[in-house]
Amino acid sequence: MNFQKTHIGIIGAGIQGVCCGLFLLKKGFIVTLFDKDEPGDSSASYGNAGHFSPYASIPLNRPDFLTDIPAMLMSSTGPLALKWNYVPKMIPWFLKFIKNCSTKNMMHTAKYMHQILDLALPAYDELFEEIDISGLVEKKGIMYIWNNQNLKSREFEINVRDKIGAEQQLLNKQEIHDLEPNIKKIYHAGVFYKKARHARNPKKILLKLFDLFIKKGGKFKKNNIEIINFSNEKPIIKSTENSFNFDKILITCGAFSKKLTDQMNEKIPLDTERGYHIHFKGYDHLVSRPVVFLNRAFGMTPMEQGLRVVGTVEFGGLDNPLSKSRINNLVNNAKFMLDGLPQHEDEWLGFRPTLPDYLPIIGPSKNYKNVFYSFGHHHLGWTLGAISGKIVSDMIANENTNLDLKPYSSQRFA
């Protein structure tokens, strides 16, 4: 079909928006991308751990997790934290989260995360063919390790991954040491995901993809979009100063998407899991690949900026300030794993966009046929950038994807 007269506006230039833009341009659409900031400046797509993790289909809502929550919240080394002033606002989200902790619901999410995760790397390869990523994407796998506590949970995860067909290689102590000799021997065992990759600088990759988008004829406008209206079913999007008309629009604002979807008369329970990073500049040589210590749920990724230490799931909304205690938690955890680290730098807080069933929303709005969504990719939005863009561009072009896309529809919250 000829889409050369169909003008699409994409709101949000994180990894979702940029990848969607590229796949839409490939089909011949005219595309304008909007962001309130310069692309990659402050988004989750800038500060993440850089994992391309096609194996990571098990959601956080799972039967064993519920019983672990109180201990995790009490622990000063653990990954979970709350901003108490935000708890009342989040109660409806928590209730939906708990409902999704049944084995049946967890397996549903795992199955449909696996469906798209399995296609994530080939979809990126289609985009990476057109940019120079040398030195920016490493194919050295990703390693998770754990100590001898909570071994039942580890067994559970291994079994679920086996059931859904996610590739994994179990590691003993010696194998962990052989792969990452600098990690202190605090571990009992681990798992290695050989096909996983990592970004050495997510922002640089995002900007390369953005430059490709512009080179291929995409337009960018720096505007904070506040209002969506319609004229004859066609969307009109507005910032304080400007107004723009489109045939169709796509909302890819990550954790900020709810401000716009609420205007579409949809009660989408999007919230955020706040996450943090710090850098130990010049110390990326201490590990060869991302290493995650599961008992404390934090990770270390060797990047151009240094050793990036990433973690924490903090429930506290979009407006609360950064928590110094969570930064200290990352510093202490990194030093628990590695000797000789210097003073850290670059304290960063980012917002994972998370729905209470841990599936993203990819597809049309429930009420407006010319409005599409791609957001809510929680811990995996970096991995799922290209594949979500590919799927949503097929949907907008009315083409068959041969995938079961119903589970990602916003209708599930109707």
* Cβ closest to ligand FAD, residue 333 vs residue 383: 383
E strands in 100-196 = 137-138, 142-146, 169-171, 189-193
Say if CB 260 and CB 225 are below 8 A apart.
yes
For residue 344, state whether it binds ligand FAD (rule: CB under 6 A). no
In the region spanning residues 357 to 376, those forming contacts with ligand FAD, defined by CB under 6 A, are: 375
Contact (Cβ atoms closer than 8 angstroms) between residue 11 and residue 31: no
* 235 forms part of the interface with ligand FAD (CB under 6 A): no
β-strand 248-251 against 371-375: which pairing, if any? parallel
- Strand-pair partners of 234: 231
Position 44, amino acid: A
Instruction: Quote the least distance from Cβ 378 to ligand FAD, whole Å.
Output: 6
Quickly count: other Cβ atoms within 10 Å of residue 44's Cβ. Answer: 25
Using CB atoms within 10 Å of the CB of residue 369, give its burial: 0 to 12 exposed, 13 to 18 middle, 19+ buried.
Answer: exposed
- Residue number, 302 or 353, with CB nearest to ligand FAD: 353
Site string for ligand FAD, 264-283 (x = CB under 6 A): -----------xxx------
For position 389 contacting ligand FAD by CB under 6 A, the verdict is no
Q: Write down the least CB distance from residue 45 to ligand FAD, Å.
A: 3
Q: Are 405 and 360 in contact (CB under 8 A)?
A: no
CA angle 144, 17, 117 (to 5 degrees): 35
State the residue for tokens 């599961």. Answer: 294
Q: Minimum Å distance from CB 103 to ligand FAD?
A: 25
Cβ atoms of 406 and 362 closer than 8 Å: no
Cα separation, 198 vs 141, whole angstroms: 8
DSSP 171: E
CB 347 → ligand FAD: shortest distance, Å?
12
Taking the complex as a whole, the smallest distance from the CB of residue 122 to ligand FAD amounts, in Å, to: 16
Minimum CB–partner distance for residue 2 and ligand FAD (Å)? 29
User: Which three-class secondary structure string do you get for 349-383?
Assistant: EEEEEECCCCCCEEEECCCCCCEEEEECCHHHCCC
Q: Is 9 in the site for ligand FAD (CB under 6 A)?
A: no
Stretch that binds ligand FAD, among 7-15, 123-131, 173-181, 261-269 (CB under 6 A): 7-15
Q: Pattern 292-321, binding to ligand FAD, x per CB under 6 A?
A: ------------------x-----------
Residue with smaller CB distance to ligand FAD, 247 or 347: 347
Q: Which of 329, 383, 393, 410 binds ligand FAD (CB under 6 A)?
A: 383
How far apart are alpha carbons 302 and 284 in whole angstroms? Answer: 4
Please state the closest distance from residue 91 (CB atom) to ligand FAD, in A.
23
Contact range with ligand FAD by CB under 6 A, out of 40-48, 121-129, 323-331, 400-408: 40-48
User: Residues 42-81: x/- map of binding to ligand FAD (CB under 6 A)?
Assistant: -xxx-xxxxx-x----------------------------
Of the two residues 252 and 295, which places its CB atom closer to ligand FAD in the complex? 252
Three-state DSSP at 255 gives: helix
Chain positions contacting ligand FAD, by CB under 6 A: 11-17, 34-37, 43-45, 47-51, 53, 224-225, 252-256, 275-277, 310, 350, 352-353, 375, 377-383
